[in-house]
Amino acid sequence: MKATLDCLECIAAQALRVARVATDDPGKQHLIFRETVMQIPGMDLNESPAALSQAAYRIAKEISGQEDPYAALKHAQNEQALALEPELRAYLAEAADPLETALHLSAAGNVIDLGVHHAGGIDIHAAIRDALHERFAVDHTPQFRKSLASCSDLLFLLDNAGEIVFDKLLLERLREYTNVTAVVKKEPIINDATMEDAIQVGLTEMCPVIDNGGPFIGSPLSQVPESFRKRMEAADIIVGKGQGNYETVDELPADVFLILKAKCEIIARHMGVKKGQVALISTRARAAR
Protein backbone atom coordinates (compact mmCIF):
# COMPACT_ATOMS: atom_id res chain seq x y z
CA MET A 1 0.00 0.00 0.00
CA LYS A 2 1.28 3.44 -0.93
CA ALA A 3 1.03 6.50 1.30
CA THR A 4 -1.16 9.53 0.62
CA LEU A 5 -0.90 13.19 1.59
CA ASP A 6 -3.26 12.48 4.49
CA CYS A 7 -0.72 9.96 5.81
CA LEU A 8 1.84 12.77 6.15
CA GLU A 9 -0.52 14.66 8.46
CA CYS A 10 -0.87 11.49 10.52
CA ILE A 11 2.92 11.13 10.81
CA ALA A 12 3.11 14.59 12.37
CA ALA A 13 0.44 13.57 14.88
CA GLN A 14 2.35 10.37 15.67
CA ALA A 15 5.48 12.40 16.30
CA LEU A 16 3.65 14.45 18.92
CA ARG A 17 2.24 11.33 20.61
CA VAL A 18 5.55 9.48 20.79
CA ALA A 19 7.33 12.65 21.98
CA ARG A 20 4.98 12.81 24.98
CA VAL A 21 5.51 9.13 25.76
CA ALA A 22 9.28 9.24 25.36
CA THR A 23 10.04 12.27 27.55
CA ASP A 24 8.51 14.74 29.98
CA ASP A 25 10.90 17.46 28.83
CA PRO A 26 8.92 20.04 26.77
CA GLY A 27 12.08 21.10 24.96
CA LYS A 28 12.86 17.56 23.85
CA GLN A 29 9.21 16.99 22.90
CA HIS A 30 9.36 20.06 20.68
CA LEU A 31 12.64 18.90 19.15
CA ILE A 32 11.24 15.41 18.38
CA PHE A 33 8.21 16.95 16.73
CA ARG A 34 10.23 19.52 14.78
CA GLU A 35 12.83 17.05 13.54
CA THR A 36 10.13 14.64 12.37
CA VAL A 37 8.12 17.32 10.60
CA MET A 38 11.28 18.47 8.81
CA GLN A 39 11.56 14.98 7.31
CA ILE A 40 8.03 15.03 5.86
CA PRO A 41 8.63 17.14 2.70
CA GLY A 42 11.21 14.62 1.47
CA MET A 43 9.10 11.53 2.10
CA ASP A 44 8.33 9.31 -0.90
CA LEU A 45 4.61 8.61 -1.25
CA ASN A 46 5.46 5.42 -3.13
CA GLU A 47 6.44 3.97 0.25
CA SER A 48 3.88 2.59 2.69
CA PRO A 49 2.51 4.81 5.48
CA ALA A 50 4.03 2.40 7.99
CA ALA A 51 7.51 2.69 6.52
CA LEU A 52 7.35 6.49 6.44
CA SER A 53 6.06 6.82 10.00
CA GLN A 54 9.08 4.96 11.39
CA ALA A 55 11.01 8.24 11.24
CA ALA A 56 9.01 9.65 14.17
CA TYR A 57 9.92 6.73 16.43
CA ARG A 58 13.59 6.66 15.40
CA ILE A 59 13.93 10.39 16.12
CA ALA A 60 12.13 10.02 19.46
CA LYS A 61 14.59 7.32 20.54
CA GLU A 62 17.59 9.39 19.50
CA ILE A 63 16.52 12.61 21.20
CA SER A 64 14.98 11.14 24.36
CA GLY A 65 17.62 8.46 24.91
CA GLN A 66 14.80 6.00 25.56
CA GLU A 67 15.44 2.79 23.62
CA ASP A 68 11.93 1.50 24.36
CA PRO A 69 9.59 4.33 25.44
CA TYR A 70 6.61 1.94 25.49
CA ALA A 71 8.27 -0.81 27.57
CA ALA A 72 6.16 -0.34 30.71
CA LEU A 73 2.94 -0.06 28.70
CA LYS A 74 3.74 -3.23 26.74
CA HIS A 75 4.41 -5.19 29.91
CA ALA A 76 1.11 -4.00 31.39
CA GLN A 77 -0.79 -4.82 28.20
CA ASN A 78 0.61 -8.35 28.22
CA GLU A 79 -0.39 -8.83 31.85
CA GLN A 80 -3.92 -7.56 31.18
CA ALA A 81 -4.33 -9.90 28.23
CA LEU A 82 -2.95 -12.88 30.17
CA ALA A 83 -5.56 -12.20 32.85
CA LEU A 84 -8.20 -12.51 30.12
CA GLU A 85 -6.81 -15.77 28.74
CA PRO A 86 -9.07 -18.10 30.81
CA GLU A 87 -12.14 -16.24 29.52
CA LEU A 88 -10.88 -16.49 25.93
CA ARG A 89 -10.22 -20.21 26.30
CA ALA A 90 -13.72 -20.69 27.65
CA TYR A 91 -15.14 -19.18 24.45
CA LEU A 92 -13.03 -21.60 22.42
CA ALA A 93 -14.08 -24.60 24.52
CA GLU A 94 -17.75 -23.84 23.83
CA ALA A 95 -17.29 -23.06 20.12
CA ALA A 96 -19.04 -25.10 17.47
CA ASP A 97 -16.30 -24.06 15.04
CA PRO A 98 -13.07 -23.53 17.04
CA LEU A 99 -11.04 -22.27 14.06
CA GLU A 100 -13.60 -19.61 13.17
CA THR A 101 -13.88 -18.56 16.81
CA ALA A 102 -10.09 -18.39 17.11
CA LEU A 103 -9.96 -16.15 14.02
CA HIS A 104 -12.50 -13.80 15.56
CA LEU A 105 -10.70 -13.80 18.91
CA SER A 106 -7.50 -12.85 17.12
CA ALA A 107 -9.39 -10.05 15.39
CA ALA A 108 -10.82 -8.98 18.75
CA GLY A 109 -7.26 -8.46 19.97
CA ASN A 110 -6.74 -5.95 17.16
CA VAL A 111 -10.05 -4.23 17.93
CA ILE A 112 -9.42 -3.74 21.64
CA ASP A 113 -7.06 -0.99 22.76
CA LEU A 114 -5.65 -2.41 25.97
CA GLY A 115 -3.97 0.88 26.70
CA VAL A 116 -7.39 2.56 26.84
CA HIS A 117 -8.73 -0.29 28.94
CA HIS A 118 -5.89 0.23 31.39
CA ALA A 119 -7.28 3.74 31.89
CA GLY A 120 -10.78 2.37 32.49
CA GLY A 121 -12.03 3.48 29.09
CA ILE A 122 -13.94 0.41 27.91
CA ASP A 123 -15.73 -2.72 29.09
CA ILE A 124 -13.19 -5.23 27.86
CA HIS A 125 -15.43 -8.28 28.36
CA ALA A 126 -18.30 -6.73 26.42
CA ALA A 127 -15.88 -5.73 23.67
CA ILE A 128 -14.70 -9.32 23.31
CA ARG A 129 -18.26 -10.64 23.15
CA ASP A 130 -19.18 -8.03 20.55
CA ALA A 131 -16.13 -8.89 18.44
CA LEU A 132 -17.04 -12.58 18.51
CA HIS A 133 -20.52 -11.86 17.19
CA GLU A 134 -19.50 -9.29 14.58
CA ARG A 135 -18.95 -10.74 11.12
CA PHE A 136 -15.92 -9.79 9.06
CA ALA A 137 -16.79 -6.93 6.70
CA VAL A 138 -14.62 -8.69 4.12
CA ASP A 139 -14.69 -12.39 4.93
CA HIS A 140 -12.24 -14.63 3.11
CA THR A 141 -12.44 -17.39 5.72
CA PRO A 142 -13.41 -19.98 3.06
CA GLN A 143 -10.27 -19.13 1.07
CA PHE A 144 -8.22 -19.37 4.25
CA ARG A 145 -9.58 -22.83 5.03
CA LYS A 146 -8.82 -23.97 1.49
CA SER A 147 -5.22 -22.72 1.66
CA LEU A 148 -4.76 -24.20 5.11
CA ALA A 149 -5.76 -27.65 3.86
CA SER A 150 -2.59 -27.86 1.75
CA CYS A 151 -0.29 -25.75 3.91
CA SER A 152 2.90 -27.09 5.49
CA ASP A 153 4.47 -23.78 6.54
CA LEU A 154 2.52 -20.80 7.92
CA LEU A 155 4.25 -17.55 8.89
CA PHE A 156 2.29 -15.39 11.34
CA LEU A 157 3.28 -11.70 11.52
CA LEU A 158 2.35 -10.48 14.99
CA ASP A 159 1.24 -6.95 15.82
CA ASN A 160 1.04 -5.47 19.32
CA ALA A 161 1.86 -6.52 22.85
CA GLY A 162 -1.28 -7.70 24.64
CA GLU A 163 -2.88 -8.58 21.32
CA ILE A 164 -0.41 -11.47 21.01
CA VAL A 165 -2.24 -13.35 23.76
CA PHE A 166 -5.32 -13.39 21.53
CA ASP A 167 -3.11 -14.50 18.64
CA LYS A 168 -1.59 -17.27 20.74
CA LEU A 169 -4.96 -19.03 20.87
CA LEU A 170 -5.26 -18.85 17.08
CA LEU A 171 -1.71 -20.10 16.66
CA GLU A 172 -2.51 -23.08 18.89
CA ARG A 173 -5.46 -23.90 16.66
CA LEU A 174 -3.43 -23.46 13.47
CA ARG A 175 -0.79 -25.88 14.74
CA GLU A 176 -3.41 -28.61 14.41
CA TYR A 177 -3.29 -28.04 10.64
CA THR A 178 0.27 -27.03 9.81
CA ASN A 179 3.70 -25.92 11.02
CA VAL A 180 3.52 -22.39 12.41
CA THR A 181 6.22 -19.76 12.98
CA ALA A 182 5.42 -16.46 14.71
CA VAL A 183 7.26 -13.24 13.86
CA VAL A 184 8.09 -10.37 16.23
CA LYS A 185 10.16 -7.20 15.81
CA LYS A 186 13.90 -7.43 16.43
CA GLU A 187 13.99 -4.05 18.16
CA PRO A 188 11.31 -2.00 19.96
CA ILE A 189 8.99 0.29 18.04
CA ILE A 190 5.70 1.68 19.44
CA ASN A 191 4.00 -1.14 21.40
CA ASP A 192 4.75 -3.79 18.77
CA ALA A 193 5.63 -7.23 20.09
CA THR A 194 9.29 -8.15 20.48
CA MET A 195 10.87 -11.41 21.62
CA GLU A 196 10.62 -10.22 25.23
CA ASP A 197 6.85 -9.94 24.85
CA ALA A 198 6.61 -13.36 23.21
CA ILE A 199 8.46 -14.87 26.16
CA GLN A 200 6.28 -13.03 28.68
CA VAL A 201 3.03 -14.46 27.28
CA GLY A 202 4.37 -17.99 26.76
CA LEU A 203 4.38 -17.89 22.98
CA THR A 204 7.96 -19.16 22.68
CA GLU A 205 6.96 -22.32 24.56
CA MET A 206 4.30 -23.10 21.98
CA CYS A 207 5.87 -22.48 18.56
CA PRO A 208 9.05 -21.17 16.93
CA VAL A 209 9.34 -17.37 17.16
CA ILE A 210 11.68 -15.36 14.93
CA ASP A 211 12.16 -11.64 14.27
CA ASN A 212 11.84 -9.69 11.04
CA GLY A 213 15.22 -8.04 11.32
CA GLY A 214 14.60 -4.57 12.69
CA PRO A 215 12.42 -1.98 14.43
CA PHE A 216 9.88 -2.00 11.60
CA ILE A 217 6.22 -1.07 11.62
CA GLY A 218 4.89 -4.08 9.80
CA SER A 219 7.47 -5.67 7.49
CA PRO A 220 8.30 -3.11 4.76
CA LEU A 221 9.44 -5.14 1.76
CA SER A 222 12.04 -2.52 0.80
CA GLN A 223 13.59 -2.51 4.29
CA VAL A 224 13.52 -6.01 5.81
CA PRO A 225 16.72 -8.05 5.43
CA GLU A 226 16.93 -10.25 2.34
CA SER A 227 16.98 -13.32 4.58
CA PHE A 228 13.59 -12.44 6.03
CA ARG A 229 12.18 -11.53 2.61
CA LYS A 230 13.20 -15.01 1.43
CA ARG A 231 11.61 -16.53 4.54
CA MET A 232 8.33 -14.84 3.67
CA GLU A 233 8.54 -16.00 0.07
CA ALA A 234 9.16 -19.59 1.21
CA ALA A 235 6.03 -19.77 3.38
CA ASP A 236 2.89 -21.41 2.02
CA ILE A 237 0.68 -18.93 3.91
CA ILE A 238 1.42 -15.59 5.52
CA VAL A 239 -1.00 -14.19 8.10
CA GLY A 240 -0.48 -10.53 9.02
CA LYS A 241 -2.15 -8.80 11.96
CA GLY A 242 -2.97 -5.11 12.14
CA GLN A 243 -2.62 -2.04 9.95
CA GLY A 244 1.19 -2.04 9.89
CA ASN A 245 1.30 -5.47 8.30
CA TYR A 246 -1.60 -4.59 6.01
CA GLU A 247 0.26 -1.53 4.75
CA THR A 248 3.56 -3.33 4.14
CA VAL A 249 2.84 -6.89 2.91
CA ASP A 250 -0.46 -6.51 1.06
CA GLU A 251 1.39 -6.40 -2.29
CA LEU A 252 3.69 -9.37 -1.61
CA PRO A 253 3.14 -11.97 -4.38
CA ALA A 254 2.25 -14.75 -1.96
CA ASP A 255 -0.76 -16.36 -0.27
CA VAL A 256 -1.30 -13.53 2.23
CA PHE A 257 -4.19 -13.18 4.68
CA LEU A 258 -4.63 -9.97 6.69
CA ILE A 259 -6.68 -9.64 9.88
CA LEU A 260 -7.32 -6.12 11.10
CA LYS A 261 -9.66 -3.36 12.12
CA ALA A 262 -9.75 -0.33 9.83
CA LYS A 263 -8.68 2.39 12.26
CA CYS A 264 -8.42 5.26 9.79
CA GLU A 265 -10.33 6.44 6.73
CA ILE A 266 -7.39 5.91 4.35
CA ILE A 267 -6.99 2.25 5.32
CA ALA A 268 -10.76 1.70 5.32
CA ARG A 269 -11.06 2.95 1.73
CA HIS A 270 -8.14 0.80 0.63
CA MET A 271 -9.70 -2.24 2.31
CA GLY A 272 -13.14 -1.49 0.87
CA VAL A 273 -14.83 -1.25 4.27
CA LYS A 274 -16.09 1.42 6.65
CA LYS A 275 -13.83 2.87 9.32
CA GLY A 276 -14.11 0.72 12.44
CA GLN A 277 -14.98 -2.50 10.60
CA VAL A 278 -12.94 -5.70 10.88
CA ALA A 279 -11.87 -7.88 7.96
CA LEU A 280 -10.09 -11.10 7.05
CA ILE A 281 -8.68 -10.37 3.60
CA SER A 282 -7.00 -12.72 1.14
CA THR A 283 -4.84 -10.59 -1.14
CA ARG A 284 -5.14 -13.23 -3.88
CA ALA A 285 -8.91 -13.30 -3.65
CA ARG A 286 -9.01 -9.50 -3.75
CA ALA A 287 -6.73 -9.38 -6.80
CA ALA A 288 -8.91 -11.93 -8.62
CA ARG A 289 -12.07 -9.84 -8.33
**pLDDT per residue as tens digits for the range 38-82:** 999 999 999 999 999 999 999 999 999 999 999 999 999 899 999
Would you state the pLDDT for residue 51? 95
Other CB atoms within 10 Å distance of the CB of residue 208? 11
Q: Is the pLDDT of residue 22 over 80?
A: yes
Instruction: Indicate the range of 145-149, 180-184, 264-268 predicted with least confidence.
Output: 264-268
Other CB atoms within 10 Å distance of the CB of residue 65? 11
Q: Is the pLDDT of residue 241 over 80?
A: yes
Other CB atoms within 10 Å distance of the CB of residue 187? 15
d(CA 48, CA 40): 13
pLDDT classification of 134: cutoffs 50, 70, 90: confident
d(CA 223, CA 210): 17
Domains of the chain: 5-64 (no CATH), 71-287 (3.40.50.10880)
For residues 162-181, average pLDDT: 97
- Per-position DSSP letters for the chain, written without gaps between them: ----HHHHHHHHHHHHHHHHHH-S-HHHHHHHHHHHHHHGGG--TTS-HHHHHHHHHHHHHHHH--S-TTHHHHHHHHHHHHHHHHHHHHHHHT-SSHHHHHHHHHHHHHH--HHHHHTT-S-HHHHHHHHHHSPPSSB-HHHHHHHHHT-S-EEEE--BTTHHHHHHHHHHHHTTTS-EEEEEBSS--TTB-BHHHHHHTTGGGTS-EEE-SSS-SS--TTTS-HHHHHHHHH-SEEEEEHHHHHHHHTTSSS-EEEEEE--SHHHHHHHTS-TT-EEEEEHHHHHT-
For residues 178-198, average pLDDT: 97
pLDDT classification of 121: cutoffs 50, 70, 90: low
Q: Is the pLDDT of residue 115 over 50?
A: no
For residues 244-252, average pLDDT: 94
Q: Is the pLDDT of residue 118 over 70?
A: no
Would you state the pLDDT for residue 29? 97
CB 138 within 8 A of CB 279: yes
Would you state the pLDDT for residue 113? 59
Would you state the pLDDT for residue 110? 86
Mean model confidence pLDDT for the chain: 93
Distances (CA, A) of 183 to 52, 123, 197, 203, 212: 21, 30, 11, 11, 6
Q: What is the pTM of this model?
A: 0.94
Other CB atoms within 10 Å distance of the CB of residue 177? 16
Contacts of residue 288, defined as CB under 8 A and 6 or more positions apart, other chains included, come to none
CB 64 within 8 A of CB 33: no
For residues 139-158, average pLDDT: 98
Compute the half-sphere exposure of residue 31: CA atoms within 13 Å on the CB side of its CA.
Answer: 15
